[in-house]
Structure 1
């Protein structure tokens, strides 16, 4: 347990630092919103390109990893739709619960994988991101569409945003550079790597800044339903499938880590833009992030 908490503890401290900075409103103005944009559109894509372009993906069990992660996501996506009436949620709340149950915080996932297993963990995490980011975004857009919160203009805007998603594009660029054998030639390797190294610490602090503790005052069954799936049921299924298909320790830990991550802070923006329940989404992001500080080490300890 000490090894797991020793690896994840510094990550959680950076998130708590972000909470403190957010409450102190330091440095003020629109600094954090602009920094989030820099991380999302430049620094994190640079990290994905640097990792995927140079990675020996032959060492990653891509097919088994995809079966475990995408199979679990699809299963719980279908389950939530099957239980929609029993959950007794209005349309806006249901779309937020769906996001809260299947979205994951990419920054925490990649940072955690690297902390646990070094470069091998970072490589598997980058592959996991390449698999999951397109799938999760497509599932969420389809949910907004099926729930009827999008008009024609909203659908076009969502599909265009999906095609321009910087994480998806970075995964495609990194994979293309890897498969072509070009990699990152010359000085570009170190330059892109340096950019990427700034993404994780800044991303973790930004996660803390985005948390809204006041939102936890809202008592809503949807909050607990999404958190039950995200922090308990989804990790349990992933751990079982990982054992069934024979994922090695690194692949198993990374798959479990991504399954047990709290939902993404970007889900709040999507809920606000596409007709979801933004306040419920804020409560889920905050509650899951705080609860994951306890649940994540316990899951990884159980796997080990």
Structure 2
């Protein structure tokens, strides 16, 4: 019994700080301490400045052999593609045509850059930050391409344009920071101390602000109005994908910290950016918001339960 309680407390120490910050964000918005203007500005600051510094420093301070895990990156990419494909097949059979693109995106696109990275840092420290930084930056490419493809199929105003996607990715500050970090690490360069210290100041702001912004965007009305389709997409993202592909990952040889990071990135709730893309594609933005809100709320339970299972099985 004591052993089980120890595992529970260990899991709470990992997930508690992350989801408490999300709840704090919801409370601050609820009591009008922050507003939509603050969330928009803070989100932009995080995306363009503080998150790039966090990813860059996480890579530069780590051993390149630790930060860059090709096997893990390839497996996560394949799992994402397969997860997207299965969700698409399911949507064709169960979801109205107009909502299929939004449903599929919500069912596979995870919030890896904030929620998964924060959890990885809490559980694995510098190891989680370094490997999570690379994974966060590189999966953005995959998420953007797959989301654009699936949304364009069901949109009359949104078309798949390979050139525009490449241009957008080349201008993405998160991808740029990861590539620069890898180059600096590979060349064995040492940035000046003043630069690293200043960068760490900025990086330390990232996760608290980003998590508060996520909480500030949550809507209880969206949770209440979430229908069966939103619940289906959320469960697909939070249960089907992480359970299936974590187990397969263990069977093919992932274990310990690698398997833990893999699970956290697979189990992350639907990314908030899926709302922006759904709206741009002329899809049902309310439906996208419902998936985001519901998956974020449910992920408190599903991620904690998953970590408990992995710890009890001694897989991590």
TM bucket (normalised to shorter chain) is over 0.9
The Cα of 1:61 is off from its aligned counterpart by: 6.8
* 1:52 is the counterpart of 2:59: yes
Matched, 1:187 2:194: yes
Q: 1:163: which partner in 2?
A: 170
Distance across 2 between alignment mates of 1:138 and 1:54: 30
- What residue number does 2:271 align with? 264
Instruction: Find out whether 1:96 has 2:102 as its counterpart.
Output: yes
Cα separation, 2, equivalents of 1:24 and 1:42: 28
Query: Conserved in 2, the CA contact under 8 Å of 1:68 and 1:238?
Result: no
Question: CA RMSD of the aligned region, Å?
Answer: 2.0
In the alignment, structure 2 segments of 5+ residues that lack a partner are 1-7, 312-316
Partner of 2:299: 292
1:124 and 2:131 equivalent?
A: yes
Tell me the equivalent position of 2:116: 109
CA distance in 2, matches of 1:125, 1:192: 18
C-alpha displacement of 1:233? 0.7
Residues 138 and 175 of structure 2 are in contact (CA less than 8 Å); yes or no, is this contact kept in structure 1? no
Matches within 5 A, 1:274-289: 274-289=281-296
How far 1:60 sits from its partner (Å)?
A: 5.0
Give yes or no for contact 1:68–1:255 (8 Å, CA) kept in 2. Answer: no
Contact 1:89 1:222 in 2 (8 A): no
For 1:203, the equivalent position in structure 2 comes to 210
Distance 2:80 2:60 in 1: 26
- Does the Cα contact within 8 Å between 2:43 and 2:213 map onto a contact in 1? yes
Note the alpha carbon deviations across 1:94-113, whole angstroms, 9 max, x for none.
Answer: 22212211212221111111
| Residues 226 and 291 in structure 2, CA contact (< 8 A), matched pair in contact too | no
In structure 2, the residue matched to 1:23 is 30
Cα 1:29–1:146 shift into 2, 3 Å: closer
Write the distance in 2 (CA, Å) between the matches of 1:301 and 1:231.
Answer: 15
After TM superposition, the structure 1 stretch with the greater mean CA deviation from structure 2, 21-30 or 192-201, is 21-30
Structure of higher RCO (CA pairs closer than 8 Å, 6+ residues apart): 1
Q: Do 1:94 and 1:222's aligned partners in 2 also have CA atoms closer than 8 Å? A: no
The answer as to 2:226 corresponding to 1:226 is: no
How far is the alpha carbon of 1:125 from its aligned partner?
A: 1.1
Match of 1:249 among 246, 256, 265: 256
Cα deviation for residue 183 of structure 1 reads: 4.4
Residues 7-27 of structure 1, C-alpha deviation per residue, up to 9 Å, x if partnerless?
Answer: 210111110000011112223
Cα distance change, pair 183–137 in 1 and its aligned pair in 2 (3 A): farther
1:34 corresponds to 2:41: yes
Partner secondary structure for residue 124 of structure 1: helix
Aligned length: 303
- Residue 12 of structure 1 corresponds to 19
1:151 and 1:274 mapped to 2: Cα distance?
5
Greater shift in the superposed pair: 222-231 or 38-47: 222-231
Gaps of 5+ in 1: none
Equivalent position of 1:3 in the other structure: 10
Secondary structure at 1:30 match in 2: helix
